[in-house]
Structure 1
């Protein structure tokens, strides 16, 4: 199965570099489909970068730990 992975990440900092707001949302979209599925949403800074490492290491199987499902 081929999927697209979309990461939406928002980070707002103050004038001193302190994090005011951080949100990362990760979506999958089956190839040829217009429907997106939210896989993970996190407010922990660095969540998107951590998931990227997991996907590079484990491929689509990285989502099995998140969703508990079989892909």
Structure 2
């Protein structure tokens, strides 16, 4: 099992992406889970924004955030 935590620093909030990959000994994917949180600067609390079980969803979100900033979350709500 491998866990990856990515932190994207913004002007007012940080975006934290936690990914869990679980593979069997032959390399096949058993489980993938990504959780995306928003954490205001200077705060310990973080708010869950989205969860995904699709492999590569976190990488796609990272690219959208780097391209569009927090506007990427406006598309999620719709």
TM over 0.5: yes
Instruction: Tell me the matched-pair count.
Output: 68
Q: TM-score, normalised by structure 2?
A: 0.79
Higher strand share: 2
The structure 1 segments of at least 4 consecutive aligned residues displaced by more than 3 Å after TM superposition are none
Q: Deviations over 1:12-69 (max 9, x none)?
A: 111221110100000001112222111110011111101001101101111111135x
Question: Structure with the greater relative contact order (CA < 8 A, sep ≥ 6): 1 or 2?
Answer: 1
Q: Distance in 2 between matches of 1:32 and 1:67?
A: 26
Runs of at least 5 residues in structure 1 that lack an aligned partner in the other structure: none
C-alpha RMSD over aligned residues: 1.3
